[in-house]
Structure 1
């Protein structure tokens, strides 16, 4: 629409200061003339005024104006909470109705911006929630304030970035809120108050949570299930609105996935906030290790230094310098004053040790058969035993000939080999995590290599003595001279046993012929004995990284079975693993929903916790008007529930007029325009000014001549 408007403008020929000076002088002369009662003074003043007016150069300016459309901004909240019940349908219907109504209004431009769902990725550490005001601010940057007619927010009211107080830049035009959902909605939700991040393996940690239910007829207690990993769930009843504490057992080192879920309430909006996941990382307390050494030899100090060098190990070390049956005529006063505490170590406090190490121990009457029987029972009950043997293992004084021999996997053959040999991983050793990819071990044969292709030779140094034994049980992971068993691992009952059939491991520590990974090998053996999950020879793991899950399989078998995944919604999917190295395979999948993912390959089971990327979004999903009411009030806008008025009327209102009602919203008329042309007409042309000046001077001269 085009219109015009006229105004008077000045374009002085001299600076305004000079014109003002001339004016003051003229007025002063006029006043002096009037004081003397001179004739013709008024005409002279009139002539001077005409000259000054001409120097001011007045013009009549006519502007040609084109009206500029006002802008109505619609901000649509399409966040995840809009999926509850029919909220998204309400928003869609109101949005279409607004488009039709606004399209009939002249002089109005409509702009829309949408806050999309899933704006955060799984595993994101951002603040989350519905950031509707941030979206509004970004949209207002491109709209001049003089053109903004109003803002219409389509949302359920659960907005998590409303500023307090409302800044002036958000209140320059009426902001109306059209609310989806229903008034006075109710919902049940689970609130985690305390979730420990770490816990000691074998002990329990305390988690705190409460169940909230806003339904008017809510009654407790509410059934709650707590699942740790793939174990059967623990079920209990929780009172409504009261914090309860639960002991969570930390059974494994590493990640222990915990899922807490409460049953649906009588007025349930969504089950998304009825469950919660958290991870307790299991860490081991200080390990208590009992090291019993036989007669001193160079490797004894290597064992002691290795164990004492770990700050997480509490070491109790005894060396048997002389057995009671051995008589070397040493005076009693020169012997140790400390009596060997057999009963305390091998009876009363035996179960307090996490690992028992016998290094070149020779049987005698120091540790009786009864105590060896206690150690065997300790292993069967879940204890850990590491045996490093010397030549005496092949004799009648062998520890194998005690009751402890019942839990040892490799009995001696009675021989001792004393020649140089290089330890090397066996076929199973290349697959076992204790010896797989040991430093300097050389690369194993490729998975798809022909049968005649051999592994690379290790580059570590040789050993020069070993005790041949028959590996009747367990797994041989390192072989020695003539491919005879050198390191054997076995499970006995609930416990574990490891045998090192040589006393030359210390040569690696000394760097003989380049040395070898003594510390790493002992660390892995000890951690395997302590049931470290990462060193399990048969393991299925699933690690979640945001929306990605890495599935890893460790096995001593030649093949890998497919893995069946069960998603949080109950859907199933079969996953084929890709071989990565001997005994190891991996697969990576992408997921788009939070929750507990279960994996099963027919033998092993595991779980992965994919956290909700936006827990704040579902912390309270009840539609509400309270959060956005301050913004509507500050801007002069209104709030309408779409459940009451599905299609509110839209009106144009003048500035400073009420912009809302019970069933209508108003958009302000700003009367903005752009100037498309200007016509200028001089009001005092030169000829007119000259005639007027001469007329004034002439009349003044005429009056003075009388």
Structure 2
């Protein structure tokens, strides 16, 4: 404790009045002396005593307690500061700083660890410093020492005025570090499936001459796709074809360079949302029937579908007396549809169609080739399929996975999922699937069924006798669907409670058009909140993998067990703590998922630099030192007005702050003394003037 003594005034009247009275006293005294009045000096004595009494001088004794200053050590614990020898340098410097600062008087030290911020905000070091000093008044701030690689992403969060203390940066990296990195400068967020999009990328490697060709590996959705060459330190435009809807994640990866700090940023990911152009569907209806509008209404309700619908009102050989002006204005464009434009359709639907000479057999062979080459075909069949002129007796039989008995079952039945149907994404979890008695579907009945025996594909729906109702199959590169009943419209009408007619037919058509979400044997991953949700689909429970391996954007691997849900899905969840591209593999299939941005800030640039913090360091009077080459600088306490940094040393301000513990005051002019002195002076003045 420090004791301070002093004489202070505690006026009994306002200071202005005291000054006025003093002025009057001086003026009256001057007049008296000018007129040579007797006793002028004697009258001054009681007046002066009165003024002193009114000024009330005090003897003050103040007891002060010194306050410690506060120094902050901000320790960068981000990913980039964990590379190479930086963790060892950081730990050693922190230990030595603690030892040094503990020997300095009147100093409290706060160590603030700073990890990666969430949501790809990078290293928020200045924000952490601001929070650490929030309860410290400016008069007690000694300074801030930052142990960091300099890759700070909130350098402008504090100004020199708001910091009000010197900032010293001790860089944990080395000036000679080498790092090669891939940068995505521009990329579209979405594009049309089947077309290519252009992205601008750059491979930075200061150790290579500009333009040096560097081989780069290209992967799509976790699968290797090929190689390309990028010129070093120059921007390059690459063309990326979009092969499917939803996210198309393309990774570019360059080999690690000799002596490189890390290879984690040698890759860059481009995530483009594939959007299907308007799907072109050809719907050909045969003879009019009660459910003919079901398919038309379903497809027309989808704004992403361009529907071409032809209804066969009569076969070409049928003749009647209808005037030509009342017939169709155009002939059925057989050649254009089944030869010239066939490959442009995404799906062909035959709805209760039978061959009556309208489409020649040669054109149906084209449809077979179209399917095996990657197209999609759906047959919604009725009794016409049992005719000898049905599509079953044409070239299409090559892609149809059934054998017909030529019998129509007229007994009403409720479609029910087979074992495959309960695992297949087209029919799994359909509304009402478990709402009936004994776990059966709570759906309405259908009127009739075409009897057939499956020869391939998967039967998803059947009747009570296990006769197939809905079959899906692959043929070559394409897909085929068979709906062996023309009674689906009963669900749309709500007969006996109806059923999920629209959802079922939508899923069937989208599976045929290769919608990724409806693949029955697939590995998928997506972000749900702050977690990665992994779904493995499979039709064979015995062949389902037990676990998946997740490789994070920083190379860490995590093995997760899969939990079988019993409906064709096995699930796993992984909390995500860093943005970037995650690669998921079950040993057979591989997929990728993007958390946040595919190219996070923290790994974009990792070489040590003081550039982000240098303006604040210079404005606050601090210094920058490289631990690898300069070593740990000496630490000094400096007072106001002195330099706070220099070669080989850094300074922490000594504010000499204090708090007042107590104050004692004693009046130097007690009342009794003032009264006695004034009365004595007045008596003396009266006696002097009376002589």
Query: Counterparts of 2:558 and 2:660 in 1: how far apart (Å)?
Result: 66
Quote how far apart the aligned CAs of 1:190 are: 0.9
Measured after TM superposition, the shift of residue 691 of structure 1 is: 4.6
User: Shift of the alpha carbon at 1:611?
Assistant: 5.9
**Counterpart Cα distance in 2 of 1:673 and 1:607:** 60
Shift of 1:18: 4.8
SS in 2 for 1:412: strand
Asked if residue 57 in structure 1 is aligned to residue 56 in structure 2, the reply is yes
CA positional deviation for 1:698: 4.2
The equivalent of 1:91 in structure 2 is 90
Structure 2 residue 586 is matched with structure 1 residue 600? yes
Shift of 1:323: 1.6
Of residues 141, 147, 151 in structure 2, which corresponds to 1:154? 147
1:512 to 490, 495, 501: 495
* Residue number among 484, 497, 510 corresponding to 2:467 in the alignment: 484
Contact preservation (8 Å) 1:460, 1:514: yes
Match of 2:549 among 565, 569, 573: 565
Which of 522, 528, 553 is the matching residue for 2:511? 528
Cα 1:321–1:679 shift into 2, 3 Å: closer
How far has the Cα of 1:267 moved from its partner? 4.9
Alignment correspondent of 1:112: 110
Q: Which one is further off, 25-34 or 65-74? A: 25-34
User: Aligned residue for 2:32?
Assistant: 33
Asked if residue 79 in structure 1 is aligned to residue 78 in structure 2, the reply is yes
The answer to whether residue 10 in structure 2 is matched with residue 11 in structure 1 is: yes
Instruction: Report if the CA contact (8 A) 2:269-2:598 is conserved.
Output: no
CA distance, structure 2, for counterparts of residue 61 and residue 529 of structure 1: 96
CA contact 1:78–1:114 (8 Å) conserved in 2:
no
Q: Is the 8 A contact 1:442 1:456 kept in 2?
A: yes
**Secondary structure at the counterpart of residue 237 of structure 1:** strand
The 3-state SS of whatever aligns with 2:116 is coil
Deviation at 1:610, TM superposition (A): 4.9
Q: Does 1:434 align with 2:419?
A: no
TM-score by length of 2: 0.92
In 1, Cα distance between the equivalents of 2:434 and 2:67? Answer: 78
Per the TM alignment, residue 545 of structure 1 is displaced from its structure 2 partner at its CA by 4.5
Q: How far apart are the structure 1 equivalents of 2:557 and 2:148? A: 35
Measured after TM superposition, the shift of residue 489 of structure 1 is: 1.4
Instruction: Report the 3-state secondary structure (helix = DSSP H, G, I; strand = E; otherwise coil) of the residue aligned with 1:94.
Output: helix
Contact kept, 8 Å, 1:379 with 1:492, in 2: the verdict is yes
CA contact (8 A) 1:490 1:498 kept: yes
Question: Counterpart of 1:411 in 2: which secondary structure?
Answer: strand
Check 1:359–1:239 CA distance in 2 against 1; reply closer, same or farther (3 A cut): same
- Give the whole-Å Cα distance in 2 for the aligned partners of 1:185 and 1:118: 22
Is the CA contact 2:77–2:116 (under 8 Å) kept in the aligned structure 1?
A: no
Listed as ranges, the gaps of 5+ residues in structure 2 are none
Q: Which residue is equivalent to 1:234?
A: 226
- Deviation at residue 134 of structure 1 after TM alignment: 1.4
Match of 2:122 in 1: 129
Q: Distance in 2 between matches of 1:110 and 1:613?
A: 42
Kindly report which structure 2 residues correspond to 1:171-570, keeping only aligned pairs within 5 A, or say none.
172-183=164-175, 185-215=177-207, 220-330=212-322, 332=324, 334-442=326-434, 455-480=438-463, 482-545=465-528, 548-559=531-542, 560-565=544-549, 567=551
- SS of 2:99's equivalent? helix
Change (3 A) 1:12 1:564: closer
CA contact (8 A) 1:198 1:283 kept: yes
Q: 2: distance between equivalents of 1:237 and 1:219?
A: 11
Partner of 2:566: 581
Q: What secondary structure is seen at the aligned counterpart in 2 of 1:223?
A: strand
The offset of 1:280, in angstroms, is 2.6
How many Å separate the matches in 2 of 1:536 and 1:360? 27
Q: Deviations over 1:576-619 (max 9, x none)?
A: 432213322222344667544231254x4434445679822233
Change (3 A) 1:97 1:306: closer
Give 5+ residue unaligned stretches, structure 1. Answer: 445-453
**Are the equivalent residues in 2 in contact too, given 1:385–1:529 (CA < 8 A)?**
yes
Residue 162 of structure 2: aligned partner:
169
Counterparts of 1:232 and 1:549 in 2: how far apart (Å)?
23
SS in 1 for 2:406: coil
- Which residue is 2:647 aligned to? 662
Deviation (angstroms), 1:332: 4.8
1:451 — aligned with what?
Answer: none
Given that 2:160 and 2:620 are in contact with CA atoms closer than 8 Å, whether structure 1 keeps it comes out as no
- RMSD over equivalenced CA pairs, Å: 2.7
Contact 2:269 2:599 in 1 (8 A): no
Q: Report deviation, 1:220.
A: 1.5
* Maintained 8 Å contact 2:222/2:583: no
Query: Which stretch shifts more, 22-31 or 219-228?
Result: 22-31
Change (3 A) 1:657 1:232: closer
CA, structure 1 residues 166+18, in 2 after alignment: closer, same or farther (shift >3 Å)?
A: closer
